[in-house]
Structure 1
């Protein structure tokens, strides 16, 4: 880092370079630029992202040492360096701690978090009775109940009867629930050991899609998922408390018990109508979840139509109280410290609301680690509501974290926040400069022409994440906590017409139900046009010798095509590209393990015209050379395909255009498919020492597809590029090689429609596998129908390869393995079946075989 800092200083001796990220998100890129002494600037359309950037790379890098002492006693949030994994902190006993040796900001954030937690716990105490040991439970397990359409009695939608798995090493037998019915009522028993009763709301054995079955005797009425959903829209859902979670003092074990009557009564006593409004905003968010968003905010597909309804009444009370306390503390701080410092501290406290929401709402479930057989450690946590990327999940049986100590509580997530802040402060060099963050659209940057030295950005990933829709849940709470203190972000000026974040200029492709709901973001063409406009803005603000770096990752080539087209349409040329491990390797959450950094410059005024044949050869040679390095780095084959696009465009970018002998311009898409073909050839797949290129095109495609994806579904765009890499049409592959699914296309492993001499080798071996149950003669007949020599080396090479690639228990693998064991018999039978017929008596002429 020191060397890089020195090189940057030498390159920019008079003043630091200006580095802009126009899609700054959480502020990671500006933070790194600021650490190296650059003037770091970040813009983002989302107020939530803008705040995240300020907390990460602005406030954390400022010198607050001259601020007055805070008017609070001290801190009881642990000063630890534990790996908390956000919400996994155990119970602590703390004395008041203030440490003069640590950074002022860290100390004061700790004090504010402690004060918020103390006040909130005091205010909501009447609704959370203490346990017998005097401490409050750390969590409460709830379930939604519905009336049965058969017997009309209510029953809970319980998706799992497991509370805590057993753990053999410690002798822990685990805990589970059992639903007991008594007349028209039901109750929950909590027992030791694994469940002895099936869940109420689950997928029937051998079927897809969950359903609820009434648990009352002599009823058992089934309720398919669509009926369960309809009951939500008919306001027939009611919450019921199932269990209470405590921490065993001696063992620190998370244990569950049946709720006491006073605990149930306290929760039912919550009256949200008594809460004061926030400058005209309701205490609990009443902003509606946009139509067509049920695939992104799952609760809206079950009748929970506002963001406030995603929580039960007591959860809403807890968060509304927390937001109110943060506003009050900000006002108190503003009297003592500077307005900027009061705002910063309130911002950190409010960000802890986000951390808590991630493990709250009706999407938070009981995360019981371990296994039913007791073989693994059996911790208990609150599961993350974003466990499926950016989708806000929904649970009918959900966990409510309380105001005390334990996973998902304010104190627990405070530990995670403080550890993150401490890491930033520890790793930031003294020469680091605070970043500057503004809420702004990437298609209308608020900066003068030619003022930026480098623009580094990680643009929206096509249709992968609906950024604003996923963070609206946070936005509605930020408006209540920070509406007075952060003007321009949460005071309503950033609102769209629905009271949520303004999405007019958001550059994503909103999928599935968005088009039907009239969402303007559902168009791929709009995405490409908006991205091109943002890159045009990037070209405007960049200096003449400025650099643009675009970091991108997506498995669908269509997303890459639109990104690279937008880049070139804006007047940039790719100058370099390199893959790097990010996302999953760091967070363990996202699905992208490799992204590609694309280096670009404004296209020079004079570039030669390229001749297709020469450019093609250069692209193939360059990609193949890079593949050797990617192999050495352990880059997966699918990641090499993704990385090859930028490498190809770096070659093409040397030319104003590339033309064929007829004078036609070669399109960008062609070089993406050429790069993919070069990767495939560089891999040099061999089947029983036979090069892949010696097989027929359909078989080549099937083998390479299998190498990459096996039996998984592949998006249509990726499938199309696959076909083009072998000069094939996707339409011609549908049926013989591929089958179409809802998610795209899947490689066929079942029996082909018919085997003829025109069939590919891959179809022939599928036909052979499908006929194995009928015996070797039936298998041999398939070879004869294909008019193949029984000893064809390519045929047996494909059989060997596919059998080895499939799991040993796969029916196709089992059949092919049996065919290999009986190879001699199959070949002999096929030889007979293929023999010419003697015209005299209609028998096969055996001599003609040799």
Structure 2
């Protein structure tokens, strides 16, 4: 189809993301991508970056900003789904692409007229849309062009044409907190011109890799792969010339295992600190501690293929704690007597007169690469895993061996070489010479080990290999390979005993801290090489990309769309921990990075949630707003954690000259979140435009306006749920939590339209420092707006006049029971509604807090609890009805049940509305519990009839 593209024809059209976004399906695809772990498109560049947003989420935001919202929302929804690969035909292709037994079965069901499984269930069995080729979308373009009056046959064509229709050019998209490059990469892949920046050069290097390694042509990728193999071949050749990774009998080292060794203050024995004596679970290898009474130390023997009993007995090592978070002890036995000493005692922890903490560790100096002989913490090589090619068949055979004198001699060769070359290599920038700057996360290695320079986090073998790689670095790809090597080959690299191949050395940043270990694994060169290769699928990006290492408030590029993921309340101290890499990269970088600032610039980083954070955010977003045309649009992503989040973001938006036009909540649970229980996060997408004019209003007028806006928004989305039933196989487009979020956005949309409220300059109000415990003018407005949004979420089956009388805890229980009856049991729903209804302790009302299987307590599970004055359900009609239901289930006499009910409901006989509310609630509970707990549903019906038939005369 050929249509004439008219510049600026969509200049003033609302964006689709301002009207609708199918967050339920989007959440399913987000979950699918996040669960891919290291298989995600960009993670192979550096999986140490933990704050990455899924590509599918970025794609949804880009499309949502470019697509127009028309008078036909159902058609708009269909178009969006086609472009996202969410429609039935695309889903069939994705299932076919996966091509496994489960997916083929799901494909059969998908085509069946009796198919009723959810979109989320299907996506678990399908390929991700970002993994599939362009042919996934072959069937969509005629329909797309007909609706949008475009003439595109690919995403880059569609993006350019929509950009011309909105902005008169191919759209320019910016991300000023680019992090690992997820947002700009996906936007470029879709056809946007890109401006990307970040204060931290490691973030910019990851973004550079996204465009120049993943986003390059297949031919260039092949050349990069060859160059990378040549780099590691040069390193291997130098190592082999030293003879420090082979035993002379055809075996080559794979992993060197080290542990800390300390002198027991009670016995004088040198004790290796091993959290477990198991070395390899799969190969059934254990360490045995053999007392050497003459030298008061333990010899370590290695046994392979041991029996189950031996393996189980070896689970406990010489260092352990009494529970998670408890202080560790060194534990060993001499002559049948067990000795336990706290690690803090061994370290010599004490408190200074000023209240600060200190210890008796020697602080390592500039030239140290290993402990001094009189240091408290020594280091010991205690086992080596060797490998050699199998004599018959393919692959290698492996062997764990005790450390012998010739192994120690090879260690001494490495130590001597590194010691002799350390200063020269530091001058050349091949080994770091940078001090560890104290901080929340960087204090840990200083305090617990005495390490004061970044090279102290690497032992001599690791310094040798990393130094040789750094010596041979000549490109950005080499620098990224070096970062990968550093992350999996340091004194902080965990030896994982249960992985295939006998075990594996894992990354330093398995969490976002710098935690020194009692034992660790060190990779030999041949084991390291394949692990740092880049092997993602190539996507040839042809648009223009501008990448800078500057703060967000220094942008000067005119930009149409901003999509940003700022560090709001971010617990990841990237400005501290990324010095781990910067220390290795900062001297003599390749020419393409010569102009970058190779420093974390902690003082300039936006961090935390305090006053400095708010002012930093305002400065950044004000500058972005100034660089945006009048019809430009911004999407701000942030994590919904803080109870003051809405007031904070309203302050920032107001002061930056922006107005909220929409907000959406996307669930982002992963299996790791499930294991962490209730520590679940979701992402809020806050959509903003430039605030036009300087409108004034009063608080009284604003109240009516907010109420009308919220009610209209809620009704619109509820109506769209009904209109799209067939499209979604009877699934809702929006759950109540989504409608609640849209209600908040409608309230913010109204609030942030005004520059002056009750004569107050809202920009000045937004910038006014917070006083702890104070409810500011903005807080009050936001609170009113949120309450208004919540009032619109009355569950079907409860009369509005009764809902208005209920406490927050009662509303929470009834609303979440409604969601449970519809199968929605993610804990983030409970968290969000608890905040919405101002429930102080919602966990007291839950029987399960599991991330994807949370559940309210039943009437029987409540029992007699939550009846006292300390409960948020105290003297509530709902608690009285639940108590009566519990008694009915336990076969208490009905007259007694009714008598207790009248006592438990305050003013039961004096206020007839209390009785009517009890009947209404019992009827509602009976309906909702029918499928969940039939016995309690029956009890609720009996309670309802008891009240109805009660004689009051």
TM-score range, shorter chain: 0.5 to 0.7
Q: Which residue of structure 1 lines up, in the alignment, with residue 631 of structure 2?
A: 545
Q: Which residue of structure 2 lines up, in the alignment, with residue 264 of structure 1?
A: 408
Q: Which runs of 5+ in 1 are unaligned?
A: 64-101, 167-172, 331-345, 371-376, 496-500, 510-522, 739-746, 807-815, 832-846
Checking the alignment, whether the CA contact within 8 Å between 1:156 and 1:200 is kept in structure 2 is no
Checking the alignment, whether the CA contact within 8 Å between 1:736 and 1:753 is kept in structure 2 is no
Distance 1:393 1:804 in 2: 51
Which residue among 525, 534, 537 is the counterpart of 2:620?
534
The structure whose residues are more often helix, as a share, is 2
Which residue among 487, 490, 499 is the counterpart of 1:361?
490
Residues 1:45 and 1:325: Cα distance change in structure 2 (over 3 Å): same
Checking the alignment, whether the CA contact within 8 Å between 1:163 and 1:256 is kept in structure 2 is no
Residues 1:471 and 1:204: Cα distance change in structure 2 (over 3 Å): closer
Which residue among 678, 698, 703 is the counterpart of 1:612?
703
Distance 2:340 2:803 in 1: 53
Q: How far off is 1:594 after superposition?
A: 4.4
Q: How far off is 1:620 after superposition?
A: 4.0
Q: How far off is 1:158 after superposition?
A: 1.8
Q: Which residue of structure 2 lines up, in the alignment, with residue 185 of structure 1?
A: 297
Q: How far off is 1:50 after superposition?
A: 2.1
Distance 1:32 1:392 in 2: 31
Corresponding position: 1:435 with 2:551: no
Distance 1:452 1:677 in 2: 35
Q: Report the secondary structure of 2:338's partner residue.
A: coil
Q: Report the secondary structure of 1:504's partner residue.
A: helix
Corresponding position: 1:348 with 2:461: no
Which residue among 671, 690, 697 is the counterpart of 2:808?
697
Q: How does 1:506-545 map to 2 (within 5 A)?
A: 506-509=605-608, 524-545=610-631
Checking the alignment, whether the CA contact within 8 Å between 1:367 and 1:380 is kept in structure 2 is yes
Corresponding position: 1:288 with 2:404: no
Q: How far off is 1:684 after superposition?
A: 3.0
Checking the alignment, whether the CA contact within 8 Å between 1:698 and 1:762 is kept in structure 2 is no
Distance 1:147 1:634 in 2: 64
Residues 1:684 and 1:301: Cα distance change in structure 2 (over 3 Å): farther
Q: Which residue of structure 2 lines up, in the alignment, with residue 75 of structure 1?
A: none
Distance 2:877 2:580 in 1: 53
Residues 1:764 and 1:579: Cα distance change in structure 2 (over 3 Å): closer
Distance 1:132 1:691 in 2: 85
Distance 1:770 1:204 in 2: 43
Which residue among 257, 261, 269 is the counterpart of 1:141?
257
Checking the alignment, whether the CA contact within 8 Å between 1:297 and 1:391 is kept in structure 2 is no
Which residue among 192, 210, 214 is the counterpart of 1:56?
210
Checking the alignment, whether the CA contact within 8 Å between 1:737 and 1:763 is kept in structure 2 is no
Q: How does 1:1-12 map to 2 (within 5 A)?
A: 1-2=155-156, 4-8=158-162, 10-11=164-165
Residues 1:127 and 1:795: Cα distance change in structure 2 (over 3 Å): farther
Checking the alignment, whether the CA contact within 8 Å between 1:758 and 1:786 is kept in structure 2 is no
Distance 2:778 2:408 in 1: 67
Q: Report the secondary structure of 2:435's partner residue.
A: coil
Distance 1:179 1:685 in 2: 68
Distance 1:634 1:149 in 2: 66
Q: How far off is 1:277 after superposition?
A: 3.3
Distance 2:577 2:224 in 1: 27
Q: Report the secondary structure of 1:243's partner residue.
A: strand
Residues 1:434 and 1:782: Cα distance change in structure 2 (over 3 Å): same
Residues 1:540 and 1:369: Cα distance change in structure 2 (over 3 Å): same
Distance 1:613 1:423 in 2: 54
Q: Which residue of structure 2 lines up, in the alignment, with residue 684 of structure 1?
A: 795
Distance 1:621 1:233 in 2: 66
Residues 1:653 and 1:259: Cα distance change in structure 2 (over 3 Å): same
Q: Which residue of structure 1 lines up, in the alignment, with residue 312 of structure 2?
A: 195
Q: Report the secondary structure of 1:48's partner residue.
A: helix
- Residue-pair matches, total: 696
CA RMSD of aligned residues (A): 5.4
Deviations 1:1-23 (A, max 9, x none): 25523523642797534332222
Checking the alignment, whether the CA contact within 8 Å between 1:580 and 1:596 is kept in structure 2 is yes
Q: How far off is 1:612 after superposition?
A: 1.0
Checking the alignment, whether the CA contact within 8 Å between 1:26 and 1:49 is kept in structure 2 is yes
Checking the alignment, whether the CA contact within 8 Å between 2:160 and 2:169 is kept in structure 1 is no
Q: Which residue of structure 2 lines up, in the alignment, with residue 502 of structure 1?
A: 601
Distance 2:258 2:735 in 1: 43
Q: Which residue of structure 1 lines up, in the alignment, with residue 521 of structure 2?
A: 399
Checking the alignment, whether the CA contact within 8 Å between 1:611 and 1:659 is kept in structure 2 is no
Q: How does 1:344-743 map to 2 (within 5 A)?
A: 346-369=475-498, 380-388=503-511, 390-405=512-527, 409-414=528-533, 417=534, 419-420=535-536, 422-425=537-540, 428=541, 432-445=542-555, 447=556, 451-480=558-587, 482=589, 486-489=593-596, 494-495=598-599, 501-509=600-608, 524-580=610-666, 594-605=682-693, 607=695, 609=697, 611-623=702-714, 625-626=716-717, 632=731, 645-655=744-754, 667=778, 670-671=781-782, 674-675=785-786, 678=789, 682=793, 684=795, 696-701=807-812, 722=834, 725-726=836-837
Residues 1:215 and 1:349: Cα distance change in structure 2 (over 3 Å): same
TM-score (norm 1): 0.67
Distance 2:739 2:522 in 1: 44
Q: Report the secondary structure of 2:551's partner residue.
A: coil
Corresponding position: 1:116 with 2:231: yes
Which residue among 450, 455, 465 is the counterpart of 1:318?
465
Checking the alignment, whether the CA contact within 8 Å between 2:258 and 2:381 is kept in structure 1 is yes
Q: Report the secondary structure of 1:130's partner residue.
A: coil
Checking the alignment, whether the CA contact within 8 Å between 2:640 and 2:681 is kept in structure 1 is no
Distance 2:304 2:279 in 1: 10
Q: How far off is 1:352 after superposition?
A: 0.9
Distance 2:929 2:411 in 1: 59
Distance 2:495 2:269 in 1: 26
Distance 1:320 1:241 in 2: 21
Checking the alignment, whether the CA contact within 8 Å between 2:160 and 2:170 is kept in structure 1 is no
Q: Which residue of structure 1 lines up, in the alignment, with residue 379 of structure 2?
A: 239
Residues 1:562 and 1:758: Cα distance change in structure 2 (over 3 Å): closer
Deviations 1:310-353 (A, max 9, x none): 22222122212221122xxx3xxxxxxxxxxxxxxx11111011
Q: Report the secondary structure of 1:468's partner residue.
A: helix
Q: How far off is 1:238 after superposition?
A: 1.6
Residues 1:33 and 1:787: Cα distance change in structure 2 (over 3 Å): closer
Q: Which residue of structure 2 lines up, in the alignment, with residue 209 of structure 1?
A: 326
Deviations 1:423-482 (A, max 9, x none): 233xx3xxx22411111111222x26xx33333322223233222212111111112462
Q: How far off is 1:222 after superposition?
A: 2.0
Distance 2:563 2:412 in 1: 52
Q: Which residue of structure 1 lines up, in the alignment, with residue 98 of structure 2?
A: none
Residues 1:266 and 1:256: Cα distance change in structure 2 (over 3 Å): same
Checking the alignment, whether the CA contact within 8 Å between 2:216 and 2:539 is kept in structure 1 is no
TM-score (norm 2): 0.61
Distance 1:786 1:751 in 2: 13
Q: How far off is 1:615 after superposition?
A: 1.6
Q: Report the secondary structure of 2:333's partner residue.
A: coil
Residues 1:653 and 1:320: Cα distance change in structure 2 (over 3 Å): same
Distance 2:929 2:486 in 1: 48
Q: How far off is 1:259 after superposition?
A: 3.5
Q: Which runs of 5+ in 2 are unaligned?
A: 1-154, 350-358, 362-374, 722-727, 766-775, 847-855, 909-914
Checking the alignment, whether the CA contact within 8 Å between 1:596 and 1:643 is kept in structure 2 is no
